[in-house]
Amino acid sequence: MSKWLRNIPALAVAMAGAGIFAAAPAGAKVEGDTIILGSAISFTGKYSTNGIHASNGYDLGVKRVNEMGGVKVGGKMYKLKIKYYDDESTPARGAQLAERLIRQDGIKFMLGPYSSGLTKAVAPVTAKYKIPMVEAEGASRSLFTQGNRYIFAVLSTSEQYLASSIALAAEIAIKNGRKPTDLKLAMAFENDPFSLDVRAGVMDDASKYGIKIVIDDKLPRDLADMSATLTKVKALKPDILVISGHSKGAATAARQIKEMKIDVPMIAITHCEAAKVIKKFGKATEGFLCPTQWAETLSYFGAYFGKAADFDKLFKKTYKGYKNVPYQSAQAAAAILVYKEAFERADSFDTEKVRDALSATDMKTFYGSIRFAKEGNNIAKPMVLRQIQGGILKVVAPSKWASAPVVHPRKVPGM
Amino acid sequence: MDNLMILAQAPVINVQLLLDGFFIGAIFALAAYGLALVWGVMNVKNLCQGDFVIMGGYIAYVMSEMGIHPILGLPVAIVVMFGFGWFIYRIIIRRVVGRDMFTSLLATFGLAIVLQQLLNLVFGPEVQTAESGFEIRSILGGMVTVADIKFIAFVLTVVIAGIVVTFMKYSRMGQAIRATAQDARAAKVMGIDTERVYAFTYALNASICAASGVLISMIWVIQPFFGLAYSIRSFVIVTAAGLGNLPGVIAAALGLGFAEQFGGFILGAEFQQAIVVGMLVLVLIVRQVQQSRKRQAVV
């Protein structure tokens, strides 16, 4: 009897183990008439806001595709569904959960998590199991230099974020009869993979035009004060000031640019929209150039959602409490559309065939054109540059999509 | 080196850096003084110091969102965080006072993580600010700007520090705190309720931190995970100044403020924090050398 009792825990473990193995084949990629996509994404932790934006985008994409009949594979209509886990905004947990989705839940088609860091943690896992992943929220260049055949990103890579601002500055200089080589550039970038990628893009363009870099500061991750850098800006009077450090960098920069009355003709900052700089710092942000992956004012058009503006309307109707639709949501919805078309072109659920179909994607959507390079990044969609004009973000570059001319030098009321 | 040349050519830049360093240092001094209190009186190394600062900041933020001027958050934050500090003492810190160093380090580190995550759950991970709406002045031909809020923050810092010092010197509780810091057992024998003294000290620390947090929310930005930077700075300052040495804390805090500003200017922002930690290492080495010269018996 006592021997039996002693064995109970061992028995329980064994049964639980058997349960896991038994469950694995049952929860496969396609259940009945449903294709299950898997994603570990940030519902809690420091990326929770954007994680939720992204998952809302995924969900709306799924809803739309299902409403339009679903996905047709082998002459049969399938519905889409997503299995989510919360990665708590930590890369280690993300990798663990990706492993769980693939091995335990039998997921064969993955959607990306939020942020480059998390995507970097998940990508090797999906590559190891040869499971394709369409991701919408990891922009770091380094994601596409590892020879990973199973990653596809619908968004523009991070080195393009601010590069267009340099070209714009050079263009304006030439128009005003100045040589681009006379321009002085000040840079302040956070010391993280994303911002350093942005910096690399800016550096490339600066050297292309022969623009002189006078400040090159790297901001620590939790620095809430960049007055030392801005004091330098004041002293050296550059023609262009570019800053990238996620929302906190944008908020800090906007606050201190206002406070120190920094008067630079061109200021370009990433994430100004996410940091709500217009609402918080008002007129002092006038003329800031803000790159974005997508804007509802763009004239992009595609099946499923129609125009960019239509997506905007539908999203706001579906999810209450959104004043502006974040681009994080738009690109997530676009990722679902990419999967839908790839399934239909592959006409199979074989992961290799779907991978090849993904690789051959060439489509126009409300989010812009999507065509993948061999490395998996989208090369068909440009980054858009918007400028804060009269408290509103207006597209100013590239000129094909521009809705207003760029104001240069920036004019700040009352300064 | 180029940046050093700028300082030499345009001396007016030095004024900006000095002023900024001065204002920053004054606010650091507040949080550091709170740490010196808790460390000196209770021998608890409070790793959630910075998170108390950020909590104070969020109180100001909430008030400004409600349409109340964030500077009025100062008394509110002081009162609320006093109560919160007392509460935390009763449920956690009470159990680690008098234990070995690692117990208090681990307990307060855990507390810091819990506080960060709670703030994140309530307010979300976005960076927030509280707008004071005060004037920004340009002096010396526009080359130097001083935001009024920084100046006001400085004055308030001095006032708060003055109140705390007077309190410690002349009030019954202040005297009891100092007696307990000198010798807890003797204080107990003399009839001082040391348990109450500890609770009060910890609560007072939370208040002081919150006050600096309110000022920080109006000068810089706050975010649930920004506390650590303030904890580290507090530790550097207190380690450099020594416990129970208020003038030392102020001098060290101002020194750190200057070092950060000039270091950031000359070497680049990436070295700003390296300077803080580098100074800590330097202080520890100097202290070690001093100690070994004295040949004191280690207790």
Per residue in B59-79, pLDDT (tens digit) is 999 999 998 999 999 999 999
Containing H/E element for A217? strand A212-219
Same-domain status, A107 and A175: no
Residue in the structure block whose two tokens are 């840079």: A187
- A291 — pLDDT class (breaks 50, 70, 90): very high
Q: In sequence order, what are the residues at sequence separation of 6 or more whose Cβ sits closer than 8 angstroms to the Cβ of residue A249?
A: A188, A190, A195, A219, A226, A243, A269, A270, A271
- A380 — pLDDT class (breaks 50, 70, 90): very high
Q: Is B228 an 8 Å CB contact of chain A?
A: yes
Q: What is the mean pLDDT of residues A260-286?
A: 89
Return the pLDDT at B177. Answer: 92
Mutate to test the interface with A, among B58, B64, B220, B233 (most CBs of A within 10 A): B220
Q: Mind giving me the DSSP string for A3-19?
A: HHHHHHHHHHHHHHHHH
Structure tokens that stand for B266 in this block: 């000359």
Mean of the per-residue pLDDT values of chain A: 88
Return the pLDDT at B198. Answer: 94
Q: Is residue A411 part of a domain?
A: no
- Please count the CA atoms within 13 angstroms of the CA of A308 that sit on its side-chain side: 19
Chains A & B: contacts with CB separation below 8 Å? 115
Q: Is residue A1 part of a domain?
A: no
Share of chain A above pLDDT 90, in %: 61
Q: Over 90: is that where the pLDDT of A309 sits?
A: yes
Structure tokens that stand for A177 in this block: 């009869």
Return the pLDDT at A21. Answer: 44
Give the closest-approach CA distance of B222 to chain A in angstroms.
8
Q: What is the mean pLDDT of residues A88-108?
A: 94
Same-domain status, A393 and A257: yes
Structure tokens that stand for A102 in this block: 């693939």
Q: What is the mean pLDDT of residues A105-127?
A: 94
Share of chain A above pLDDT 70, in %: 92
Return the pLDDT at B1. Answer: 59
Same-domain status, A30 and A133: yes
**Using one digit for the tens of pLDDT, what is the confidence trace for A225-234?**
888 899 999 8
Same-domain status, A281 and A307: no
Q: Is residue A21 part of a domain?
A: no
Same-domain status, A287 and A230: yes
Q: Over 50: is that where the pLDDT of A411 sits?
A: yes
Structure tokens that stand for B65 in this block: 């969102």
Neighbours of A318 (CB within 10 A): 13
- Please count the CA atoms within 13 angstroms of the CA of B104 that sit on its side-chain side: 18
On whether the CB atoms of residues A226 and A252 are closer than 8 A, the answer is yes
Look at A56 and B129; give whichever has higher pLDDT.
A56
CA distances from B210 to A324, A330, B80, B165 (A): 34, 40, 9, 17
Beta carbons of B138 and A261 less than 8 Å apart: yes
Same-domain status, A69 and A46: yes
Structure tokens that stand for B154 in this block: 């400085």
Return the pLDDT at A233. Answer: 92
Same-domain status, A124 and A237: no
Return the pLDDT at A26. Answer: 39
On whether the CB atoms of residues A29 and A107 are closer than 8 A, the answer is yes
Same-domain status, A101 and A151: yes
Q: In sequence order, what are the residues at sequence separation of 6 or more whose Cβ sits closer than 8 angstroms to the Cβ of residue B106?
A: none
On whether the CB atoms of residues A73 and A344 are closer than 8 A, the answer is yes
The beta-carbon neighbor of A235 closest among B13, B222, B260 is B13
**A-chain residues near B268 (CB < 8 A):** 216-218, 229
What is the tally of structural domains in chain A? 2
Return the pLDDT at B46. Answer: 92
φ/ψ bin of A3: left (φ > 0), alpha (ψ from -120 to 50), beta (otherwise): alpha
The beta-carbon neighbor of A251 closest among B125, B127, B142 is B127
Q: What is the mean pLDDT of residues A312-323?
A: 92
Give the closest-approach CA distance of B210 to chain A in angstroms.
17
Same-domain status, A92 and A195: no
Beta carbons of B20 and A231 less than 8 Å apart: yes
Q: Is residue A15 part of a domain?
A: no
Return the pLDDT at B295. Answer: 61
Return the pLDDT at B296. Answer: 56
Q: Is residue A341 part of a domain?
A: yes
Same-domain status, A35 and A152: yes
Same-domain status, A281 and A321: no
Those of residues 110-169 in B touching chain A at CB distance below 8 A are 117, 120-121, 124-127, 129, 131, 136, 138, 142-143, 145, 147
CATH number of A189's domain: 3.40.50.2300
Containing H/E element for A78? strand A76-86
**Using one digit for the tens of pLDDT, what is the confidence trace for A188-206?**
999 888 888 899 999 999 9
Hey, which of A40-49, A156-165, B109-118 has the most confident mean pLDDT? B109-118
The beta-carbon neighbor of A218 closest among B10, B126, B269 is B269
Q: What is the mean pLDDT of residues A67-72?
A: 94
3-state secondary structure of A261: coil
How far is Cα of residue A309 from the mean position of the Cα atoms in its chain?
Answer: 19
Full domain range(s) for residue A214? 160-292+384-397
Q: Over 80: is that where the pLDDT of A7 sits?
A: no
Q: Is residue A8 part of a domain?
A: no
Q: Tell which residue, A73, A90, A137, A145, has the closest CA to residue A111.
A: A137
Q: Is B14 an 8 Å CB contact of chain A?
A: no
**Using one digit for the tens of pLDDT, what is the confidence trace for B210-241?**
999 999 999 888 999 889 889 988 998 998 88
The beta-carbon neighbor of B220 closest among A224, A229, A260 is A224
Containing H/E element for A364? strand A362-365
The ipTM estimated for the assembled molecules is 0.82
**B-chain residues near A225 (CB < 8 A):** 24, 220, 260
Domains annotated on chain B, with CATH: 2-294 (1.10.3470)
**Using one digit for the tens of pLDDT, what is the confidence trace for A9-32?**
555 555 454 444 444 433 447 788
Q: Is residue A402 part of a domain?
A: no
Q: Tell which residue, B261, B268, B269, B17, has the closest CA to residue B144.
A: B17
Q: Mind giving me the DSSP string for B102-150?
A: HHHHHHHHHHHHHHHHHHHHHH-SS-B-------EEEETTTTEEEEHHH
Q: Over 70: is that where the pLDDT of A356 sits?
A: yes
**B-chain residues near A217 (CB < 8 A):** 264, 268-270
On whether the CB atoms of residues A402 and A298 are closer than 8 A, the answer is no
Q: What is the mean pLDDT of residues A267-278?
A: 88
Same-domain status, A204 and A279: yes
Q: Which residues of chain B have pLDDT under 50?
A: 298-299
Q: Is residue A18 part of a domain?
A: no
Cα–Cα dist A146/A132, whole Å: 15
Cα–Cα dist B265/B64, whole Å: 32
